[in-house]
Amino acid sequence: MSCLCEKLTPKEGEWSPICIGRLWVFEGLGQEEMQEVVLRALRRQYQAGQSVFRQGDAAKQISLIKAGRVRLSKLLEDGTEITLDIRKSGDFLGEYMFSDEFDYPVSAWCMTETLVCSFTKDRFEKLILDYPNIGLRVIKNLSNRIAQLTDRVGAMSQSHLEERLYSVLLNVAREHGEKKREGYVIQFPLTHEDLGFLIGAHRVSITRTMKRLRDSGKILQRGRNLVLPIEAIR
């Protein structure tokens, strides 16, 4: 079936041809089940400056960005707001909806007119009650995803996650950290949940990757602060 989002796509800007029914979380569904996913998904348009969700809100929505750009930011205890990532069309937001009692660690602000295709937690649960096999398939896909992120020990996968995590830390350090003699200092807390949310990895994988970065000397732990040595950056 054709993508139902196409007629709602903003006239300007890129849009993603990927349909929400084709996301990895729904992989393996039959045609009828996939059609139900597509038909029951919510389409919502946001104007620039509106939020898809805010830091501290209960994680009750998963969204596929069909068009537009979304800025992920974190509000620190002192009131400072920092930008951690920018998501574009085709990117996925809110996979933590599948976790119990999880709050968003960041806010998602639309930078341009944005169209998302999404499910609220209540709407998704109603879909599962009507089509139990969708729930079983999602559980299997989530289990496989977690296994891939936590148990894959191949050098390529490890280095890929390590590079992505280090890249995020480096951008944060350069833009919002303080440059000192030993390196760039990130003087505010970034939890493993925060980092996992930003790069789409499980918290356990983040913990292991952070250890590898510390062991390799790419990052240093100084109390609650992280230091990225200048020598490692070079």
Q: How far is CA 99 from CA 20, 27, 69, 79, 178, in A?
A: 19, 19, 25, 28, 35
Taking phi first (over 0 means left), then psi (-120 to 50 degrees means alpha), and beta for anything else, what does residue 62 get? beta
Name the DSSP class of 97.
G
Q: Which two tokens stand for residue 70?
A: 């979304």
Q: What is the pLDDT of residues 126-148, one digit of tens each?
A: 999 999 999 999 888 888 776 66
Q: Which two tokens stand for residue 41?
A: 């998904």
- The rounded distance, in Å, linking the Cα atoms of 225 and 200 is 23
Burial class (CB in 10 A: 0-12, 13-18, 19+), 124: buried
Which stretch of 29-33, 154-158, 183-187 has the lowest confidence by average pLDDT?
Answer: 154-158
pLDDT confidence tier of residue 114, bands split at 50, 70 and 90: very high
pLDDT at 53 over 90: yes
The pLDDT value given to residue 110: 93
Question: Are the beta carbons of 25 and 141 closer than 8 angstroms?
Answer: yes
Half-sphere exposure of 171 (CA within 13 A, CB side): 13
Which stretch of 37-46, 74-83, 106-115 has the lowest confidence by average pLDDT?
Answer: 74-83
The pLDDT value given to residue 5: 65
Question: Are the beta carbons of 63 and 96 closer than 8 angstroms?
Answer: no
Q: What is the pLDDT of residues 192-221, one digit of tens each?
A: 878 887 777 778 888 989 999 999 999 998
Beta strands in 89-162 (DSSP E): 92-93, 107-110, 114-120
pLDDT at 105 over 80: yes
